[in-house]
Chains A and B, each alone.
Chain A
Amino acid sequence: NAGVTQTPKFRVLKTGQSMTLLCAQDMNHEYMYWYRQDPGMGLRLIHYSVGEGTTAKGEVPDGYNVSRLKKQNFLLGLESAAPSQTSVYFCASSYSTRKEQFFGPGTRLTVL
C-alpha cells in the first residue's frame, strides 16, 4: 500500500499562474482533507470531503478550489496564485468520523 501520495513534491509559480495539486489514497477512505502548513501556525484546513462528489470549506478556503470526482483522489486547485499561498500543502485521509488521519508527504509551493 502506498498510503497517501501527493503530486508534485515541489513547484514554483509566478503570481497569477494556476496549478492543480493531486492527492491519491489507496486505503478506501471516505474522508479526505487539504491543509496548509506555515511556520508557527500549525496546520490549517483548506477544504475537505466526506465522500465522493462532496466537498466543504475549511478554515482558510479563499483562493482555492477542490474536486473529488473519484473516491481515491482529491484535487486542490489554485486559479490565480498569490505570494500569500507560498506554503507546504498536505493531503490527508481518514476512514470515518473522528478517526486518525493519514498524511501524505507534502507539496512545497513557492509563488513568486
Chain B
Amino acid sequence: AQSVTQLGSHVSVSEGALVLLRCNYSSSVPPYLFWYVQYPNQGLQLLLKYTTGATLVKGINGFEAEFKKSETSFHLTKPSAHMSDAAEYFCAVSFTGTASKLTFGTGTRLQVTL
C-alpha cells in the first residue's frame, strides 16, 4: 500500500542549529513529493516540491530537501534554525494515478529554543 511516514512527531532544536525533518514514502513508482508548513491557526503553505529533475530542491525560508529514490526518502533540512521556523511541517505525496490527491504524513512539530 502507498503510504507516507514522518519520523518524530516533535523535534526540538536550538536557534542556529541544523533542522532535519524526516519523511519516507512507500511506492514502487517515484511519486511527486511536497513539504508544507503550517503556522498556528493558519492554513498550509507550500515550502518546496519535487516532481522530476534535480533531486536537491530548494524552497522558501532557506529550507531544502533531497529526493533519494534508493532510500524512498525526502528529508527536509535547514542549516540554521530561526525562532520563526517554529511550526508544524507536513510531508505530502502525490502517487501516480491518484488524480492529484495528496497523501499527508502525520506532521512534525518543530520547536526552536534559545
- Residues of chain A at the chain B interface (Cβ within 8 Å): 4, 31, 33, 35, 40-45, 48, 50, 56, 58, 90, 92, 94, 96-106
Contact = CB atoms under 8 A, between A and B. Distances in A.
B94 interface: yes
B40 to A, nearest CB: 11
B51 to A, nearest CB: 7
Interface in B64-114: 90, 94, 99-102, 104-107
Given A31-B99, A31-B100, A98-B94, 4 more contacts: A33-B101, A92-B44, A98-B100, A105-B43
Contacts of B101: 33, 45, 48, 58
Interface residues of B, number: 22
Interface in B16-41: 32, 34, 36, 41
B100 A90 contact: no
B45 A103 contact: yes
B61 interface: no
A106 to B, nearest CB: 5
A41 B43 contact: no
Of all A-B residue pairs in the complex, the 7 with the closest CB atoms, nearest first, are A42-B104, A103-B43, A103-B44, A42-B106, A43-B104, A98-B94, A105-B43
17 contacts: A33-B102, A35-B104, A42-B106, A43-B102, A43-B104, A44-B104, A48-B99, A48-B101, A50-B99, A56-B99, A90-B44, A96-B100, A97-B100, A100-B49, A101-B100, A103-B36, A106-B43
Contacts of A97: 99-100
A29 B45 CA distance: 17
A90 B32 CA distance: 21
B9 interface: yes
